[in-house]
Amino acid sequence: MCPAADKAAIPLALSSWAAEFLGRPADLIPLAGDGGSRRYWRLSGLSGSTLAGKALLAMHGPDAAENRAWLNIGRHLKALGLNLPEIRGYQPEWGFFILEDLGDSHLADSLKNGPSAEAEELYGRTVRLMADFHLKGLDGFQSGWCHQEPVYDAAMVEEKEIIYFLESFLAGYLKQPKPGPEIRREAALFSCEVAREAPADVLIHRDFQSRNVLAAPNGPALIDWQGARRGPAAYDLASLLNDPYVSIPPGWRERFIDIYLEAAGRRDVEKFRRELLFTGAARLMQNLGAYGKFCGEGKDFSAWMLPAAERLAEHFKDPALAGWPLLAGCAAAALNQLKSSC
């Protein structure tokens, strides 16, 4: 059991463990977090330690199963040559880790001042990294490393994305009526259609968005990989292209789809675009469900609800999704309520 069960005592216990691992005490400088439960600190004062001259972070994760997934999947991806922080030391049962510090700049930061050639180039490199992740990821991957569902399938779409949206966001955050049997039936059918349209044939990150890509000195680097599992390639690209945290110019979206298709060696252009549409709708429902949950926990994610709702409603206006009127109505109702509250 972790010697610091009390959250307030975690930094002291982590500092003690890090000092033992490094061979000398080091200062822990707390870093801002996001919606996740993991906490990060930058290590300083490493002169004379076994890792002197290295930029390092300390991390604590409270979930033992998630920690094991993060460690095993991270080591697997690093061994494949993918760009992500190197894990330098760990005590997974206590949730303590020391990892390479690749800086504070994220992919999202590249668009803070609007589109630029540099941002477009960084996004293009990120899409190529995604394709590399997909092409290599399943080689030697063990489903037992997953701490959640090992495959993105119809059951997961239904429960973790659509019902999550209906219950956590629509009913929980917006206080709309709880989903009845009709919408639940349509959710189940739509989930099966997503799984049919987009087969689980690669390793997906499952949270491939601009805040989970570092703009590292050696190029884009992935973080928060603990949710990786077998899934459809289109899901990760849809996550990146529909990311509510940023506004990607429409012309860039088309370019990035082309970059992905070329890098992944795919020739089924129209089929892949259809996959993007279905997985994009599911992903946006997951986004909104998560935002509703986080707000219920006292974390303010309201700023990204409207962009996500706008993109979800736009998906359901596509003729390919015309057969799902109840879900389309939910998307429109969410958008209208958010607009009226602005």
The angle formed by the CA atoms of residues 156, 240 and 33, to the nearest 5 degrees, is: 85
User: In 3D, which of 78, 3, 10 has the Cα closest to residue 40?
Assistant: 10
Residue 51 — very low, low, confident or very high, per pLDDT cuts 50/70/90? low
**0.85 surpassed by pTM:** yes
pLDDT attached to residue 35: 63
Q: What is the pLDDT of residue 48?
A: 47
CA dist 278 and 123 (Å) reads: 22
Angle at 23 (CA atoms; ends 20, 24), nearest 5 degrees: 95
Distance CA 204, CA 313 (A): 25
Taking only the tens place, the pLDDT of each residue in 222-269 is 999 999 999 999 999 999 999 999 999 989 999 999 999 999 999 999
What local confidence, expressed as pLDDT, does residue 4 receive?
47
Nearest to 281 by CA among 238, 323, 232: 238
Q: How confident is the model at residue 88 (pLDDT cuts 50, 70, 90)?
A: very high
Higher local confidence (pLDDT), 178 or 7: 178
Higher pLDDT, residue 178 or 54? 178
Q: Which helix (H) or strand (E) holds 230?
A: strand 229-231
Residue 229: in which H helix or E strand, if any? strand 229-231
Query: Using alpha carbons only, how large is the chain's radius of gyration in Å?
Result: 21
**Mean pLDDT, to the nearest integer, of 112-129?**
97
Q: Is the pLDDT of residue 341 over 80?
A: yes
Position 87 scores a pLDDT of: 96
What is the tens place of the pLDDT at every residue in 274-298?
999 999 999 999 999 999 999 999 9
- Taking CA atoms, 110 is separated from 117, 172, 267, 306, in Å, by 10, 33, 30, 21
Q: With bands split at pLDDT 50, 70 and 90, how would you rate the model's confidence at 49?
A: very low
Helical (H) or strand (E) element with 264? helix 250-264
